Structure 1
Amino acid sequence: MKNQQNHDLQSRAYAPALCFLVCGSLLAFDSAAQEGGSDKSLTPEQQSTKTEVWEPVPPSVSVPETGVPSDSIVLFDGADLDAWEAEEGGPAEWHVEDGVMTVNRGAGGIRTRQDFCDVQLYLEWRAPADIDGMEGQDRGNSGVFLQERYEIQVLDSYDNPTYPNGQAASIYKQHIPLVNASRPPGEWQSYNILYTAPRFDDGDTLESPAYITVLHNGVVVQHHAEVQGTTEWIGKPNYDEAHGCAPIYLQDHDADVSFRNVWVREL
């Protein structure tokens, strides 16, 4: 009997604490539910406003149907090579005619005078129509280098077998394109490239690699592909050198490849 009384006393002593825990939890749950928009006293429209975000407001960009976005930096509009320089410095010496710039074979590549990091890069390119006696890597070879280090291959890959990680729209010797979207030689083709630059910490150690997405003639051929390091013809890619923003570079690979409508948006 005495034990029963002690048990009843202990139960009555614990009851307030138990009520505090349980009731407090229920109140907290009810408050959280109301914060989450499940308060039945509110109309659906009123509940909906709880998850609306009004700031920041994105800036407006005009996009003409046949033009370039208004926030773009035009790198080549057919007039001149003022935005470019030779790879060793000095004026760019490629040919400009009829709104098109074409590799000046033997003069070397050209690079932008401005440095870039994360970008959307758009350009149109054309491999030469005369392919007599040429095959593989000898047909319309050039390249688009982000930060002068990471190459997206330019090549006539229409009915032209070569190693797939070196065909058009490959991240050269790193990533094979998902599909071959090439048009016949002599026809204009487009690259729309989304690029995230690599990040390095204060000790020049790689924190995150570069990533590239490529649309070739409007078709996704590289989907957020991780860049393994600098483009290498021989050997494996690596991130052995920390770097900041750097120019966009177009390659002279001894082929009469042409470019037009080149613009870039900094992201």
Structure 2
Amino acid sequence: MKNQLTQKLKPYSYAQTLCLLACGSLLAFDSAAQEGASNETLTPEEQSAKTEVWEPVPASVAVPDDGVPSDAIVLFDGTDLDAWEGEEGGPAEWHVDDGAMTVNRGAGGIRTRQDFCDVQLYLEWRSPEDIEGMEGQDRGNSGVFLQERYEVQVLDSYDNPTYANGQAASIYKQHIPLVNASRPPGEWQSYNILYTAPRFDDEGALESPAYITVLHNGVVVQHHAEVQGTTEWIGEPNYDEAHGCAPIYLQDHDADVSFRNVWVREL
């Protein structure tokens, strides 16, 4: 029995190994040849059909001239603040006038009543036209916070020097925009933001960070930028707290910044 077991466990000889490799190559070559021969008998349409995927069929989305997709959640259409609340809860106390909502300085920021994770967020904003005596971070300062934590800066950055990672369309104190696409104060500007929320494991550790792409007035200014953590004015960003979906937050930074045409698509 011992001799038989030893014989079974002997490794292949060099010649046997070469034979096995050669046989395997021949089988693979024969299979490829058969496939090629099979394809020669098919029409181009039949060959193309082999790599066509028909399901699932994407849902149809209507996009009217005003740009609001039919699958979007309208957060502000110029009439009321029903989709928003104060940063401590209760009614949102910003001003609504002439199709726009404007920061009510001192009343605090506002946040959506609904929580969001991955989204496409579109909004238009306007910094005050009267800039006399104001410069830097004091000119038209506000912010768009995804999940109440990660800020895309709103600022009048038209001929207004400030630190580059704090100008309009920056990921505040983290990523400088690729270009400055700002319009003059008093003119409406747009942000189209694609946002991927961070992921955490069951223990609360970060699995993947958040990512943000921003088009400012139709120009790409942040391209899949990796968010380094929560927005901090002082200190380093961090992911020290695991979290799920959360509201979109608009900041009151003591400036009369206005917003309109706000909608979001859950991705």
Counterpart position of 2:9: none
Q: Secondary structure at the match of 1:223?
A: strand
Aligned residue number for residue 32 of structure 2: 29
In the alignment, structure 1 residue 47 sits paired with structure 2 residue 47: yes
Matches within 5 A, 1:113-262: 113-262=113-262
CA shift, 1:17, in A, is 7.2
Pairwise CA distance, 1:27: 2.0
One-letter amino acid matched to 2:149:
R
Runs of 5+ consecutive residues of structure 1 not aligned to the other structure: 1-12
SS state at 1:39 partner: helix
Task: Kindly provide the amino acid, as one letter, of the partner of residue 137 in structure 2.
Answer: Q
What is aligned with 1:10? none
Aligned-partner Cα distance in 1 for 2:142–2:59 = 36
CA shift at 1:18, angstroms? 8.5
Unaligned runs of 5+ in 2: 1-15
Partner of residue 97, structure 2: 97
Q: 1:180 to 1:21 in 2, by over 3 A?
A: closer
- How far is the alpha carbon of 1:225 from its aligned partner? 0.1
1:207 partner SS: strand
Distance 1:82 1:41, change over 3 A: same
Q: Which moved more, 1:38-47 or 1:177-186?
A: 38-47
1:7-18 equivalences under 5 Å are: none
Going from structure 1 to structure 2, the CA distance change for 1:33 and 1:244 (only over 3 Å counts) comes to farther
Residue 26 of structure 1, CA deviation: 2.4
TM-score (norm. length: structure 2): 0.90
Equivalent-residue separation in structure 1 for 2:129 and 2:64 (angstroms): 30
SS in 2 for 1:263: strand
TM superposition outliers: structure 1 runs of 4+ over 6 Å: 16-19
Give the aligned residue type for 1:186. Answer: G
**Deviation string for 1:54-113 (max 9, x for gaps)?**
000000000001140000000000010000000001000000011110000000000000
C-alpha offsets along residues 28-65 of structure 1, whole Å, 9 cap, x if unaligned?
2224546xxx8222222211111111000000000001
State the alpha-carbon separation in 2 of the partners of residues 79 and 126 from structure 1. Answer: 17
Task: Give the residue type in structure 2 aligned to 1:24.
Answer: L
Q: What is the alpha-carbon distance in structure 1 between the residues aligned to residue 54 and residue 219 of structure 2?
A: 34
Q: What corresponds to 2:5 in structure 1? A: none
Structure 1 stretch displaced more, 107-116 or 41-50: 41-50
SS in 1 for 2:129: coil
Distance 2:25 2:244 in 1: 57
The number of residue pairs the alignment matches comes to 252
* Identity within the alignment, %: 83
Q: Which residue of 1 aligns with 2:7?
A: none
Structure 1: how far apart are the matches of 2:21 and 2:141?
77
Q: What is the identity, as a one-letter code, of the residue corresponding to 2:218?
A: G
Q: Distance in 2 between matches of 1:216 and 1:236?
A: 26
Name the CA distance, whole Å, in 2 between partners of 1:91 and 1:75.
Answer: 15
Secondary structure at 1:61's aligned position in 2?
A: coil
State the secondary structure of the residue aligned to 2:242: coil
**Is the partner of 1:143 in helix, strand or coil?**
strand
Aligned to 2:76: 76
CA distance 1:22–1:150, change in 2 (3 Å):
closer
> In structure 1, what residue type is equivalent to 2:33?
D
Measure the CA separation in 1 of the matches of 2:58 and 2:21: 51
Q: Which residue of 2 aligns with 1:87?
A: 87
Counterpart-to-counterpart distance in 2, 1:24 and 1:223: 48
Distance 2:46 2:231 in 1: 55
Structure-2 separation of matches of 1:33 and 1:183:
59
